Structure 1
Amino acid sequence: MGKRNAVVVTHSSVRSSGNLVNEVVHQLQTDGFRVDIIDNIEAPAFGEPSQRVQDDTEIVIVLGGDGTILRAAELVKCTEVPILGVNLGHIGFLAEFESFQIGEAIRRVADHDYSIDERMVAHVDLWLPGADEPLTDWALNDMTLERYDRGKMIEVSVRVDDVEMSSFGCDGMIVATPTGSTAYAFSVGGPIVWPDARSLQMVPIAAHALFARSLIIGPDSTFTLDILGDSQSAGWICNDGRRQREVPRESRVVVRQSHDILRLARLSGVPFTQRLVSKFDLPVVGWREQHKPNLPGAGTRVPDGGR
């Protein structure tokens, strides 16, 4: 039997700060893998192709945080190669294991003891003024269209399925996948969407409007954002915090569900809800329980009429 091929993706600072990467590579090699290490993935320009893993790659193992996983996603775009994330960052929502669990993670990879979690990807078309064809890109987390001039607003028109819904000035707009709903969109007040929901959400950033709420559309619908010709500022588009460019006035951004998917390797059956509680350290004990005085009879249930 020939060598199995794995790619380890990390950050140059992780590789130079200790022996962790060498230990992972050694264990993979001991288990029969040929290993390539990638520790610096330059972001391609918006609409440009990115580097890809070889066709015979079995798995990509990421040592880092969610940002490193987003970089690794570019390597497996349009392939069936799964990503396994080992969190060395802060929250690490996309990661499956923490750093102290690396030994078990590698053992289970060697034994094919994992399942595949399929995540939807957003397809992004950018139509520049007068263009016959769009610049096409994609996002695992989110597409942001923000003001180019930090001191002014960007004026946008919002359409859903080619029906105009609203127009207003704002600092920017976020269109997020369910995977990205716990990232930038969440930080500006967007809802958390479960990963198996085939939907896209749009969240305005500091909109100057009476109606500027989050919108969630289904798998067959499309968001269209037009930068108005009299907008105070041109725009700046960025996908997954990486692939970006300036966007002039009278440009159009169309976002829909992509036919592609990204595969995350999962080693446990922990539901998303449990991951949510753990990563965000949610207060599953209510405020009253946390602050209940230690008095005789304090544990007695209060009748409904006494609330």
Structure 2
Amino acid sequence: MRIGIFPNVTKRECAPWVQKLLAGCRRHGVEALLPAYVAESEQTIYREIAAVHYHPFSELMNTIDFAFVLGGDGTILKLARSFALAKVPVCAVNFGSLGFLMEVEPEEMEARLEAMLQGLYFLEERTLLHSELCCADGSVQELPTALNEIVVAHGNVGKMIRLDMSINGHFVQQYPGDGMIVSTATGSTGYNFSGGGPIVAPQVKCLMVSPICPHLLLKMPLVLGEDAVITFSAAHSRNAVRISIDGMRDQELPRSVTLRVKRSPYTLQMIRFDENYFYTNLFTKMTGRK
């Protein structure tokens, strides 16, 4: 077996655990590789790792069987598209402030590695969102893939915008307000949840649309089938509108351009060990209960 180790190099607490995971891999006869950018980190402990473990990111994605990601939910969001395209299953190790996507704690890593070697795990598929900008001249600009959500919102704080929303080519509603959230089941516990949307278990195949502070009496979120195609137009908005993809990519939505959002053909495969982990995380990390 060959695994890739992807630490969040901005979290100093990850570094010693990378060393421990490398030692565990040696004990179990597992080849462990790291992306070359890790060696360029300011943390000297990464430069002490033998050069043979480091490989270019693209080469790594084509050669590993599994990935250990050490970080928080944001680390998963940054790498999700790469893992999905390469069809590399991910074991997520929690070093985040919330770590809702993470099932494994640092001290459990070697035990989980042993379980993987014995086949004592299952794969959970997470839906991704594909989005594109459809221009008046017929051209289409593809946007980065999202794991959590795509947000269409005001570009200026305190300025109301108007978004025309259609589903599967049928006009549904013009929403005046702060914007709209399109989320996956994964993103249902993120911005969607904060905005009053439903929490959905990860195995439910659906998309959700939640208005952000709408100036409407009818302001309920919608749960749609996974094959729904959602489009937004800002043609009737006097104020600037922007698109945010998983909180990382941000750009303007011009009035002459339509945003189209649908399910991506790719999925992110998460390695899981406990079928009830989602509910355990939900009622501990999201409520403060122990």
The two structures have a TM-score, normalised by structure 2, of 0.84
Equivalent position to 2:211, from 185, 204, 223? 204
Counterpart for residue 273 of structure 2: 267
Letter paired with 1:63: L
Query: Matches of 1:133 and 1:279 in 2, distance apart?
Result: 40
Counterpart for residue 190 of structure 1: 197
Query: Matches of 2:138 and 2:239 in 1, distance apart?
Result: 20
Q: Secondary structure at the match of 2:18?
A: helix
Equivalent position to 1:61, from 65, 68, 71? 68
Counterpart for residue 260 of structure 2: 254
Counterpart for residue 168 of structure 1: 175
Query: Matches of 2:123 and 2:13 in 1, distance apart?
Result: 31
Query: Matches of 1:61 and 1:18 in 2, distance apart?
Result: 13
Counterpart for residue 29 of structure 1: 26
Counterpart for residue 105 of structure 1: 112
1:18 CA drift (Å): 5.1
1:113 CA drift (Å): 2.9
Larger mean Cα displacement after TM superposition, 248-257 or 184-193: 248-257
1:92 CA drift (Å): 1.3
Query: Matches of 2:110 and 2:277 in 1, distance apart?
Result: 23
Counterpart for residue 45 of structure 2: none
Equivalent position to 1:5, from 2, 9, 13? 2
Q: Secondary structure at the match of 1:57?
A: coil
Query: Matches of 2:22 and 2:238 in 1, distance apart?
Result: 52
Q: Secondary structure at the match of 2:79?
A: helix
Counterpart for residue 153 of structure 1: 160
Query: Matches of 1:153 and 1:10 in 2, distance apart?
Result: 40
Query: Matches of 2:240 and 2:208 in 1, distance apart?
Result: 23
1:183 CA drift (Å): 0.8
Q: Is the 8 A contact 1:28 1:35 kept in 2?
A: no
Query: Matches of 2:271 and 2:14 in 1, distance apart?
Result: 26
Q: Judging changes above 3 Å, is the alpha-carbon distance between structure 1 residues 16 and 198 closer, same or farther for their aligned structure 2 residues?
A: closer
Query: Matches of 1:214 and 1:28 in 2, distance apart?
Result: 46
Identity percentage of aligned residues: 29
Superposition CA RMSD, Å: 2.4
The one-character-per-residue Cα deviations of 1:61-112 (angstroms, maximum 9, x if unpaired) are: 1111111111121321222210110111122111111223223223323444
Q: Judging changes above 3 Å, is the alpha-carbon distance between structure 1 residues 17 and 90 closer, same or farther for their aligned structure 2 residues?
A: closer
Query: Matches of 1:25 and 1:126 in 2, distance apart?
Result: 43
Bigger helix share: 2
Q: Secondary structure at the match of 1:77?
A: helix
Counterpart for residue 20 of structure 1: 17
Letter paired with 2:249: R
**Structure 1 residues not aligned, in runs of 5+:** 41-50, 285-307
Counterpart for residue 225 of structure 1: 232
Q: Judging changes above 3 Å, is the alpha-carbon distance between structure 1 residues 80 and 255 closer, same or farther for their aligned structure 2 residues?
A: same
Q: Is the 8 A contact 1:175 1:201 kept in 2?
A: yes
1:144 CA drift (Å): 0.9
Query: Matches of 1:238 and 1:163 in 2, distance apart?
Result: 24
Q: Is the 8 A contact 1:15 1:21 kept in 2?
A: no
Counterpart for residue 83 of structure 1: 90
Letter paired with 1:238: S
**Structure 2 residues not aligned, in runs of 5+:** 40-56
Q: Secondary structure at the match of 2:112?
A: helix
Query: Matches of 1:35 and 1:231 in 2, distance apart?
Result: 50
Query: Matches of 1:17 and 1:111 in 2, distance apart?
Result: 26
1:244 CA drift (Å): 3.0
Q: Judging changes above 3 Å, is the alpha-carbon distance between structure 1 residues 71 and 29 closer, same or farther for their aligned structure 2 residues?
A: farther
Q: Which has the larger radius of gyration?
A: 1
Counterpart for residue 305 of structure 1: none
The two structures have a TM-score, normalised by structure 1, of 0.80
Q: Is the 8 A contact 2:14 2:71 kept in 1?
A: no
Q: Judging changes above 3 Å, is the alpha-carbon distance between structure 1 residues 178 and 153 closer, same or farther for their aligned structure 2 residues?
A: same
Q: Judging changes above 3 Å, is the alpha-carbon distance between structure 1 residues 270 and 249 closer, same or farther for their aligned structure 2 residues?
A: same
Q: Judging changes above 3 Å, is the alpha-carbon distance between structure 1 residues 175 and 267 closer, same or farther for their aligned structure 2 residues?
A: same
Letter paired with 1:148: G
1:200 CA drift (Å): 0.4
Counterpart for residue 277 of structure 1: 283
Counterpart for residue 47 of structure 2: none
Query: Matches of 1:256 and 1:39 in 2, distance apart?
Result: 34
